[in-house]
Structure 1
């Protein structure tokens, strides 16, 4: 089984790599550096394989571009991935996703892909084209969440991070069951879907969604929680979720 993990920034990538390590770095087209775990020679018994990890950049466009590059390179090398995971830290919707908690997405939703109208926000699907949600395999979501001690719910992808109580309330009302927001999941999911590869999103909560209070953020604790979550991932993903046609 081959897993590709896509983060936004190097700190998130390094937190994921710390769960397995040591890693080598392989160059991909576009200047990307793909971190690949070093494999011991013929271990007995063989451990669950560690994932490859890519820091693709911030936002859904960068995430989609980096993910598509890695998936294409793997396919051309006749070594396609079985699963893509969007991962990193993010904001949690209080009180359901407290600081330091783990969230596994049952729905990966583009929260601001659509149009503002006199009646409020209209998602792009209601305009007659596109999609705004990807739904990972429910059994895989439950298995990963159980192994990591995480909660299951909706994770929103936004291009502008929420910074007000009014916006927080609007998103929570529009997306019942929302637990977290981040900036890359939907882009990763779009690229994975184009390649017919299953997708997951795993977030650890560094701050509460709402008015920005940097003094209350717990980035270090969220990165440590991300490492702990990824120690459980390879075993939780077995048996392999196979690629779709």
Structure 2
């Protein structure tokens, strides 16, 4: 099975690649470089082939980069069987502490909608689109288990939370939310448009709420991301056998 992993920035991409071994860089339309793991010539039919793309920050850039990679793969008759949005993000304390791994059971567009006199209204209440994607529950459970992570809601925002009031608002609107990031929903939208399953994996670098850069643990979160992707093939192997 071929897997596309989409990160926001190069540091996240490199953390993922560190778990996957040697790779080559393939140019995509638009100037993005796709980091492609070197699959052995005699690989078993169910071996994973993983490409990693740093598509940019925010849901729009993530969607555009993901769609470009998916289209290029389809045109080459080498379609992907899974897309994974990956990177570091903010955790909702105390449920997702620093350094923890979160696998999205729901990928939610938290600020796609409108402000009204009664509060925030998601775009679905306005009669448009969607605001949530549900990855395969069995796959979410398997990935969380092998990565030693938590499964729950991950919200996608276009503006990172920086106040206690905003944190409380998100937590109230999305009970059980574990993490916040800026790309997952964009990746999921592109994957859905191509009919490809999606996952989101986040490692927690900071607590959602007032911004305290001195308390951020970016290095530890990137190391946890590498560890999570070292474990990932064990969870995907059954899926690969089913779809090979």
TM-score, reference length from structure 2:
0.96
- More displaced stretch, 32-41 vs 119-128: 32-41
| Secondary structure of 1:230's aligned partner | helix
The whole-number CA distance in structure 1 between the counterparts of 2:231 and 2:76 is: 28
* C-alpha distance in structure 1 between counterparts of 2:137 and 2:240, whole Å: 11
User: 2:67: which partner in 1?
Assistant: 68
After superposition, the C-alpha distances for 1:50-81 in whole angstroms (9 at most, x for unaligned) are 41100000000000000000000000000100
**Does the 8 Å CA contact 2:204/2:221 hold for their aligned counterparts?**
yes
1:210 lines up with 2:209 in the alignment: yes
How far has the Cα of 1:188 moved from its partner?
Answer: 0.1
State the match for 1:154 in structure 2: 153
Tell me what 1:5 maps to: 5
**1:47 CA drift (Å):** 8.2
How far 1:232 moved relative to its partner? Answer: 1.1
RMSD: 1.7
Secondary structure of the equivalent of 1:153?
strand
For the Cα contact (< 8 Å) 1:82–1:243, is it kept in 2? no
C-alpha contact (below 8 Å) 2:46/2:241 kept by paired residues: no
* Cross-structure match for 2:238: 239
How big is the shift at 1:99?
Answer: 0.2
Deviation (angstroms), 1:237: 1.2
**Equivalent position SS for 2:155:** strand
- Alignment partner, residue 228 of structure 1: 227
Structure-2 residue corresponding to 1:174: 173
Question: Please, which runs of 5 or more residues in structure 1 have no aligned partner?
Answer: none
Q: Where do 5+ consecutive residues of structure 2 fail to align?
A: none
SS, match of residue 239 in structure 2: coil
Q: Contact 1:50–1:234 (CA<8 Å) still a contact in 2?
A: no
Tell me if the contact between 2:5 and 2:52 (Cα under 8 Å) persists in the aligned partners. Answer: yes
Deviation for aligned residue 1:107:
0.2
Distance 1:80 1:217, change over 3 A: same
Equivalent residue number for residue 131 of structure 2? 132
**2:192 equivalent in structure 1:** 193
| Matched position secondary structure for 2:56 | coil
1:51 aligns with 2:57: no
TM-score for the superposition, normalised by structure 1: 0.96
Tell me what 2:183 maps to: 184
8 A contact 2:48–2:240 mirrored in 1: no
Post-superposition shift, 1:217? 0.2
Count of aligned positions: 243
Q: Show CA shifts across 1:23-45 (max 9, x none).
A: 100001010100001123325x7
Q: In 2, Cα distance between the equivalents of 1:128 and 1:64?
A: 22
